[in-house]
Amino acid sequence: MTRALRRLLPLALTGLCLGAALAIPSVRAQDGLDGLDMPGAAAVCFGMLGISEPRALAICDALALKENVKARELAQRWIAEQPGSAAAQFALAEVLVQVEGNLARALFHLNRAEELTNYASMGRAIASGNAEWHFLTLSQLSYVHQLMGNQEASLAYLDKIEAVYGQEMESFRGWPLIKMQRWDEARASANEVLASSDDPRERSRAWNTLCAVELASLRPADTLEACDKSIAEDEQLAEDASSDTNTVFLMNAAEVALSMLRIPDAENYLRRATRYLNPGSVGDPWISLLYLLMNQSRFDEARGALDSLLVWRDQQDPIVGVMNRAEHFLVSATFLILAGYADDAATLSATALNQPDRTGSFSADEAQKDSIAALINHIANRTAYEQKLEEAAWLDFPASLQARVDAFGFWFKAWRSGRHAASLFADPQTLMNRLRPYAPLDVHIPEWVEPDLVGLLGEGVIASILEQTREQGAFRLNEGYYYAYRTEISALRGDDMQTLAMADRAFSLLPEEENMLRARLQARVADAAWRLNEPEVALSNYEEALQGDPSILRRLGLRLPVRITGVDAPFEREVMGFLEDSPRFLPAPNGLNLEVFPQNELTICLSTRGGVPLSCVQMGPIDETLQLRPAQQLVQEFHTQTFGLGYDISQSQRMRLLGNSVILSSQNNAGAQQNRDSVLRP
């Protein structure tokens, strides 16, 4: 699940033509500029009734028809001919926001529009004939500053709207205050709205603010009244509008359910959210659902969710694309790590780290995104390092040497990104928030990934913070997560007896859906039990760990005890030699069975002590492009299938995960839209 809570009603005060999808309330002349007599026909343009400027109406028509290039050309021509026109400056800024998601350039033109108006009173604004453009400019400046992370400026423009036009803006203050973690002020603002307003949209925003304030506490609540009220208000709005329930509402409901560890309820909300494509939704439910499916080791469903995630991403509006692109990169990178494409995962996570997102409509902030991106990048590079060491075991000398050089490169990148992640997580309060299971106001880190923080920050640091977090009630709903961290701490300290004891407590308490976290614990238990000369305990846990998460031994850099047997023939002996040299295997007479035998075609099979196959790979057609001998190809394929998910994700598919230009993605035709609907609708 994506843990960052999303706004039910983002801050934009204008319709922006994409406002309906974003659940942004349109500002009409009668409710945005009370008392103003707006001339002209009642056409809706830039979310406002009464705009009569022919050039503006032409641009709005082009945007409505998805003629984006035409809209930009019209706006650029207008501003070239009339650079002193506030309307022209605003129109170009609007095109830049809608068509390109280019907030920085849009801000330049909005600032220029403000300079050209900048009225101190409603009377002066009306007398100038530019009141609508001044109001729209101030509204959009507040929204753009919010998205770009400048919350003080966002609040200042709300104050200016109130001062000039007397428009009540209190319901929009809560979210910027939450972004600045000014919880008491946000609570007071929301309560003021609830006490004075009967408008359902304003009340929905207020309850959503109180919901976020409640969730900010480390101690999970047994009931979340404010969150329930927010959901109820938004459902009523959907019914009144005779429309489908808002995507963001459903995702926030899933966050609330997860914060209370009601995992099936969370999946139900997300399934509902995925039924209808919502191009303007600030959240992509497939991201959250993909994380949830991975958590439960439901890998086939996760593979399908990844495809649907790409369909949703390609459909979304450009302004949304610049908000959540890092989320798409990070969840894709996480899946690719499990699937065995760690080098591509490293590229994706590095891209997420290097490209700033506009997180103004998320409760999480840019620093949180960077910390998670650095952590995922560390894990991806470390996993790629292990893969290169595996390759070195079966390659010939020159290629083996190059593989070890490449491995060192991945090791260095992992060390560097690990140091960066550690520095970003160094704040004690940040860590305490992070350790809470399914922390609702943070960017997502899967629960089975979070124990990696122990190795990055040190066992002593995490142990100290962990106890403080427990005392504050973060694990009150389920202490299994606390004991999972204690297991990781004990394992890294080399305290094998304590590792077994802590893992036993965790197993007895964790929700049954936490398959991946259980697999990590089983790997730690197996490693500790093997050193304690308890082979039965060790091997049973190795078996269960591989079944729950085939990639876990590779990610943790562990070796699997195996008894390698096979036919005494030259080809088979070569294969067995490669297996013995692999860093994934520890030759041991009482280990799991790893057999090389002829069966129609040569086969490598890893089996339980009872003879149940865990992973079997048969020699297939020789790939001449790999420049590997048949024995090398067989061993390579065995490692791919045994320590990955076994999915063949083509290079073109992996490149597609990096995304397309937001301009191109905004120009999808109706035929593509219809095709996407057929993919996602049940």
Q: What is the pTM of this model?
A: 0.83
Residue 337 to residues 329, 385, 545, 559, Cα–Cα distance (Å)? 12, 12, 16, 18
Nearest to 437 by CA among 281, 258, 309: 258
Cα–Cα distance between 105 and 667 in angstroms, integer?
20
pLDDT for position 27: 36
559: left (phi over 0), alpha (psi -120 to 50) or beta: beta
Per-residue pLDDT tens over the stretch 274-287: 988 888 887 889 99
pLDDT for position 237: 59
With a CB cutoff of 8 Å and minimum separation 6, the contacts of 602 are 571, 572, 575, 596, 618, 619, 634
Contact 459, 489 (CB under 8 A): yes
Tokens 């076994």 belong to residue: 646
Tokens 């506030």 belong to residue: 86
pLDDT for position 440: 72
| Domains defined for the chain, CATH in brackets | 338-556 (1.25.40), 560-642 (3.30.160)
Tell me the residue ranges of DSSP E strands in 346-458.
Answer: none
With a CB cutoff of 8 Å and minimum separation 6, the contacts of 649 are 336, 339, 341
pLDDT for position 89: 96
Tokens 């995922």 belong to residue: 376
pLDDT for position 600: 63
Cα–Cα distance between 667 and 670 in angstroms, integer?
10
Contact 170, 176 (CB under 8 A): no
pLDDT for position 479: 96
- To the nearest 10 degrees (0 to 180), the angle between helices 342-354 and 397-424 is 30
Contact 624, 595 (CB under 8 A): no
Low-confidence stretches of the chain (pLDDT beneath 50): 1-2, 8-42, 241-244, 660-682
